[in-house]
Amino acid sequence: MCGIVGYVGARNATQVIIHGLRRLEYRGYDSAGVAVMSGSETEVVRCRGKLAALENLLKEKSPTGSLGIGHTRWATHGRPSDENAHPHRIGAISVVHNGIIENHAVLRERLRATGRTFSSQTDTEVIAHLIDEAVAAGATSLADAVRKALRQVEGSYAIAVVSNRHPDEIVAAKNASPLVVGLGDGENFLASDAPAILEYTREMIFLEEGDVVSLGRKSVTFTDMDGNRIERKPRTITWTASQAEKGGYPHFMLKEIHEQPQAVSDTLRSRLLLDTSDVTLDGQNLGAIDGRVIILACGTSYHAGLVGKFLVENIARIPCEVDLASEFRYREPIVSGKDLVVAISQSGETLDTLAALKEAIARGGRTLAICNVVDSAIARTSGSVLYTHAGPEIGVASTKCFTAQLAALTLLAVHLGRRNGALADKAAAELVGELVHIPHKMSETLRATGSLRELARKYMHARDFLFLGRGTNYPIALEGALKLKEISYIHAEGYAAGEMKHGPIALIDDGLPVVVIATQGKGYDKVLSNLAEVRAREGHVIAVATKGDQTIASHCQDVLWVEDAPSLLQPLLTVLPLQLLAYSMAVARGTDVDQPRNLAKSVTVE
């Protein structure tokens, strides 16, 4: 998805914008550009390719103004090219945009019929024409022109606009795509994501659906789409700038893998009530759930949801269904007011999950969002929210937000189980007691696993991988396979170990590495027999096993040790060596770990 940065103040706008865009590179992009106001002239510099290409261009002609907007593009309409790069300039108007304008073709035809011409295939150029048209038609201000233009637009957008005729103002607006304003002293900032401007300010305002904001050096004015003034409260973002930086690790992903013990303990912090062996959800009381718990999510968050099913059913004895959000929203689902619908999303902006949540609300479901981004769209749309406290996640392949989601789901299950009586005092004390130790066990497991460089070199040329797990570790087998696919581009499949003999066993030979999660607990003996079936067919077994397990080593070629924990909490540990394996394989194969091809951090378009 595209990245947007804006600045108005006294500094060199080009430098501030490029700095911010560098922080948004993880959002995925294929071209970049800036529009900077020098005097009453806008200089637009843009090109296809990485930010470095744009920086080279800017070396030749770097605009010196102190007001401007910038963009990194992720192509949706129109292939990656210089003419499709943003900003798009029409007359005095320059626009950058993140999202998709669904009715752009109709609008383009209407504009063409008035004699206007187009130089790109993008939907964004339509917005620039509409604003220019509104100015020509006598709009009272730039914000008024933007509102008039956007009232004709259908779809998702975050836009930022500058105009030669309004050299001291940036106007921005949002619908479904994320946008945040950063407040400064004599200067103000705009970005698609907080890390881009964190270095300059902590006072941030997250735009709401339909918000239009006008930024000046000394003023920030919010209106709705009809021009009515609206109030928006700033939030103090506690993330440090360095949190957004790599902290000395070669990749954001590795930094974030090692941030998991902290992310989980921050997510558990002030929610575990040790004295009563209970959990508080930040004072929110979800009340009794007489129906089902229905979990909705995409990608890695969906795998967290699958573990959530075990947690909710085992701990709270409430029937729990897990649905792919992109399926749920079109499936005429059966939801009632007795059901609690839980939407899990790291970014809080994934459109399929947002739409599925709205579908559940429309059908009367009570809702809870588990999100990592404060004030994100899914969090704002949901009846209640349980935030994970993992900090900004920049690596596209989700890691620390996954384990933070597992921690949040465990908190939810304990909260529900204590309220409906399914979780008795003794069991609750044991579980809450175990949870307290999980962050430390995660650190120990990460330390014991190390870099896995040798193991990666051994298997880096494998064409396929198979991941097997049982019970709570079945979703972890799915997640291990997804991680390997996402960042090392090796085909991998996760499978319930008990299902192996009903199909994938046909794939096994001495060229297929098989990762088996064989930790002690429920189903351990069954997993050992699955291991034997693989070995019998010359398959190479990499086992994830419980530290101190004397027998496992004789059943496999390689062992990845994890600390011991009850089955329900094991996923918080067993996923760690699988994340590190995928990471090391990707490094060995030289892929773009933090920005894998064809992937983006969250999908906010159809």
Binding mask 243-282 for ligand BG6 (x = CB under 6 A): ----------------------------------------
Which of helix, strand or coil describes residue 196?
A: helix
Q: Name the segment binding ligand BG6 (CB under 6 A); options: 4-12, 226-234, 295-303, 509-517.
A: 295-303
Among 14, 94, 260, 300, contact with ligand BG6 (rule: CB under 6 A): 300
Q: Name the segment binding ligand BG6 (CB under 6 A); options: 156-164, 393-401, 533-541, 573-581.
A: 393-401
Q: Is there binding between residue 603 and ligand BG6 (CB under 6 A)?
A: yes
Handedness of CA 304, 306, 309, 311 (dihedral sign): negative
Q: Is there binding between residue 600 and ligand BG6 (CB under 6 A)?
A: yes
d(CA 190, CA 179): 7
Q: Name the segment binding ligand BG6 (CB under 6 A); options: 222-230, 266-274, 346-354, 522-530.
A: 346-354
In terms of Cα–Cα distance, which of 238, 211, 204, 241 is closest to 227?
211
Given the structure tokens 């992009």, which residue do they identify?
A: 29
Nearer to ligand BG6, 370 or 432 (CB): 370
Among 135, 220, 298, 316, contact with ligand BG6 (rule: CB under 6 A): 298
d(CA 25, CA 601): 10
Q: Is there binding between residue 602 and ligand BG6 (CB under 6 A)?
A: yes
**Catalytic residue flag (residue 601):** yes
| Total residues interacting with ligand BG6, rule: CB under 6 A | 17
Check: CB of residue 335 under 8 Å from CB of residue 364.
yes
Nearer to ligand BG6, 223 or 579 (CB): 579
Q: Is there binding between residue 350 and ligand BG6 (CB under 6 A)?
A: yes
C-alpha torsion angle, residues 468, 471, 473, 477 (rounded to 10) = 30
Q: What tokens does 162 get? A: 């500058």
Nearer to ligand BG6, 520 or 595 (CB): 595
Nearer to ligand BG6, 318 or 407 (CB): 407
Considering the complex, what minimum distance in angstroms separates the CB of residue 214 from ligand BG6?
Answer: 30
Q: Is there binding between residue 398 and ligand BG6 (CB under 6 A)?
A: yes
Considering the complex, what minimum distance in angstroms separates the CB of residue 212 from ligand BG6?
Answer: 26
Considering the complex, what minimum distance in angstroms separates the CB of residue 194 from ligand BG6?
Answer: 15
Q: Tell me the DSSP string of 449-488.
A: HTT-HHHHHHHTT-SEEEEEE-GGGHHHHHHHHHHHHHHH
Nearer to ligand BG6, 141 or 367 (CB): 367
Could you tell me which residues come within 8 angstroms of residue 211 by beta carbon, excluding any fewer than 6 positions away?
Answer: 173, 174, 222, 223, 224, 230, 232
Residue nearest to ligand BG6 (CB): 299
Among 72, 163, 267, 353, contact with ligand BG6 (rule: CB under 6 A): 353
d(CA 467, CA 577): 13
In Å, how far are 224, 345, 500, 581 from 453, measured between CA atoms? 54, 31, 28, 8
C-alpha torsion angle, residues 201, 204, 210, 216 (rounded to 10) = -40
Q: Name the segment binding ligand BG6 (CB under 6 A); options: 42-50, 168-176, 328-336, 394-402.
A: 394-402
Nearer to ligand BG6, 211 or 393 (CB): 393
Nearer to ligand BG6, 26 or 189 (CB): 26
Considering the complex, what minimum distance in angstroms separates the CB of residue 343 from ligand BG6?
Answer: 9
Ranges of beta strands (E only) in 49-92 are 67-73, 88-90
Q: Is there binding between residue 299 and ligand BG6 (CB under 6 A)?
A: yes
Strands across the sheet with 293-297, in order? 320-324, 293-297, 340-345, 366-371, 384-387
d(CA 493, CA 468): 9
Q: Is there binding between residue 397 and ligand BG6 (CB under 6 A)?
A: yes
Check: CB of residue 95 under 8 Å from CB of residue 120.
no
Instruction: Please pick, among 148, 255, 400, 601, the residue that the annotation labels catalytic.
Output: 601
Report the relative pairing of strands 464-469 and 513-517 from DSSP bridges. parallel
Q: Is there binding between residue 579 and ligand BG6 (CB under 6 A)?
A: no
Q: Is there binding between residue 347 and ligand BG6 (CB under 6 A)?
A: yes
Considering the complex, what minimum distance in angstroms separates the CB of residue 69 from ligand BG6?
Answer: 25
The count of C-alpha atoms lying within 13 angstroms of the C-alpha of 246, restricted to the half-sphere facing its C-beta, is: 12
d(CA 136, CA 138): 5
In terms of Cα–Cα distance, which of 372, 540, 397, 413 is closest to 468?
540
Nearer to ligand BG6, 354 or 565 (CB): 354
d(CA 547, CA 540): 21
Q: Name the segment binding ligand BG6 (CB under 6 A); options: 67-75, 298-306, 467-475, 574-582.
A: 298-306
Instruction: Please pick, among 2, 298, 371, 401, the residue that the annotation labels catalytic.
Output: 2
Q: Is there binding between residue 574 and ligand BG6 (CB under 6 A)?
A: no
Considering the complex, what minimum distance in angstroms separates the CB of residue 300 from ligand BG6?
Answer: 3
Considering the complex, what minimum distance in angstroms separates the CB of residue 40 from ligand BG6?
Answer: 41
Among 301, 473, 520, 567, contact with ligand BG6 (rule: CB under 6 A): 301
Considering the complex, what minimum distance in angstroms separates the CB of residue 581 from ligand BG6?
Answer: 17
Nearer to ligand BG6, 441 or 601 (CB): 601
Q: Is there binding between residue 368 and ligand BG6 (CB under 6 A)?
A: no
Q: Is the previous residue joined to 87 through a cis bond, with omega within 30 degrees of 0?
A: yes
d(CA 166, CA 26): 32
In Å, how far are 99, 161, 206 from 123, measured between CA atoms? 9, 15, 25
Q: Is there binding between residue 599 and ligand BG6 (CB under 6 A)?
A: yes
Among 345, 449, 488, 570, contact with ligand BG6 (rule: CB under 6 A): 345
Binding mask 441-480 for ligand BG6 (x = CB under 6 A): ----------------------------------------
**Catalytic residue flag (residue 2):** yes
C-alpha torsion angle, residues 223, 224, 230, 234 (rounded to 10) = -80
Nearer to ligand BG6, 324 or 496 (CB): 324
Considering the complex, what minimum distance in angstroms separates the CB of residue 574 from ligand BG6?
Answer: 18
d(CA 533, CA 531): 5
Considering the complex, what minimum distance in angstroms separates the CB of residue 299 from ligand BG6?
Answer: 3
Check: CB of residue 75 under 8 Å from CB of residue 176.
no
Site residues, ligand BG6 (CB under 6 A): 298-301, 345-347, 350, 353, 396-398, 599-603
Catalytic center residues: 2, 601
